[in-house]
Amino acid sequence: MGKIAFVFSGQGDQYPGMGKALAGQYPAAAAVFEMCDGIRPGTSAQCFEGTEEQLKETKNTQPCLFALELAAASVLAEKGVRPEAVAGFSLGEIAAAAVAGIFDRESGFRLVCRRGELMQREAEKYDTFMAAVVKLAPEQVQELCAGFEGIYPVNFNCPGQTTVSGLAAQRADFFAAVKEAGGKAIPLKVRGAFHSPLMEPAAADFGEELRKTALRPGAIPLYSNVTGEPYNGDAAALLSRQICSPVRWEKIIRNMIAAGIDTFVEIGPGRTLVNMIGKIDPGVTAIPVSEYLEGLE
């Protein structure tokens, strides 16, 4: 018998109106949005009625996505669906940690609000970009980045797809180098050089926030972006380092599959992780939470 995992998405798939139908249909989801509004007034309004530009702002994106993801996970819990492991891509790791029981959901929401503020603070210091490089091996992308000061390979997503972060002044030349090498660079809908050394001040300050938060051992395995392995030790260190360290998504998924996971439910507004998992191992099942919920009705 296989095992199910919840995987929580990161920035990029957000869209105006996300979560409105979910909250309207399921009281468990509505309760999560109400909780978030009590801590950060206007969160549900940003999700349900905010503009694309508002949702692109990191200080808004992160709490809004966390609210949606926790709401969807709460609906699944109410229906008796329990994951046997969890992981989250970038900010999704905060929602995954809440579901794993590392901290309570209110603490998780407060943390993600602060995380978004800190990362936006650093993003505003520089003119930066993120882009997904496709059609090249990770080693090729790393070699290309080494030739540019201020551009870093930051997300090892799946075979043939590696995300880079860096300074916008180098973007045109880097994109040209990628094309010459036979690849393609696709700009991402985020504002900041996330998971790069440019985020180190945000990581340090987020570590201080984590040290003020009551952290517990997780009730289910939570896989770390930093190591690609299940948490084993200092959760505060892993969650703070994650902001300025590469996301080792392919390693996470391969390790989860090796541990017996054969069904992945993407908790989030899109299907980015579903698509990545399909490229990592087409033999497993990966499904967006919207479709999974439809199958439970």
Over residues 30-54, the pLDDT tens digits come to 999 999 999 999 999 999 999 999 9
Q: Which whole number is the average pLDDT over 73-88?
A: 96
> In the structure encoding, which two tokens stand for residue 165, read together?
């972060």
Distance CA(172)–CA(145), nearest Å, equals 13
φ and ψ of 110, to 5 deg = -60, -40
List the 151-158 sheet strands across, edge first: 151-158, 161-167, 128-134, 184-187
Is 90 tagged catalytic? yes
Mean pLDDT of the chain: 95
Whether 74 is catalytic: no
Distance of CA 132 to the CA centre of its chain: 15
Neighbours of 253 (CB within 10 A): 27
Q: How many residues in the chain?
A: 297
pLDDT at 285: 96
Distance CA 112, CA 120 (A): 12
Q: Is the pLDDT of residue 148 over 90?
A: yes
pLDDT at residue number 297:
73
Place of tokens 């043939």: 160
Q: Which two three-digit tokens encode residue 59?
A: 């200080």
- Residue 49 has a CB neighbour count (10 Å cut-off) of 12
In this prediction, residue 295 has a pLDDT band, given cuts at 50, 70 and 90, of confident
Q: Which domains does the chain have, with CATH numbers?
A: 3-124+196-296 (3.40.366.10), 128-187 (3.30.70.250)
Decide if 8 contacts 249 (C-beta within 8 A).
Answer: no
Q: How many angstroms separate the CA atoms of 256 and 230, rounded?
A: 9
In the chain, pLDDT over 90 holds for what percent of residues?
93
- The answer to whether residue 248 scores a pLDDT higher than 60 is yes
Catalytic residue (one of 44, 107, 195, 245)? 195
pLDDT in the model for residue 133: 97
Partners of residue 286 on adjacent β-strands? 264
Q: What is the dihedral of CA 3, 67, 156, 270, to 10 degrees?
A: 80
Q: How confident is the model at residue 92 (pLDDT cuts 50, 70, 90)?
A: very high
- For residue 169, pLDDT over 60 is answered with yes
By the 10 Å C-beta count (0-12 exposed, 13-18 middle, 19+ buried), 4 is classed as middle
Buried b (16+ CB within 10 A) or exposed e, 102-138: bbebebbbbbbbbbbbbbbebbeeeebbbbbbbebeb
Active-site residue, selected from the candidate residues 9, 44, 74, 90: 90
Rounded percentage of the chain residues whose pLDDT exceeds 70 = 100
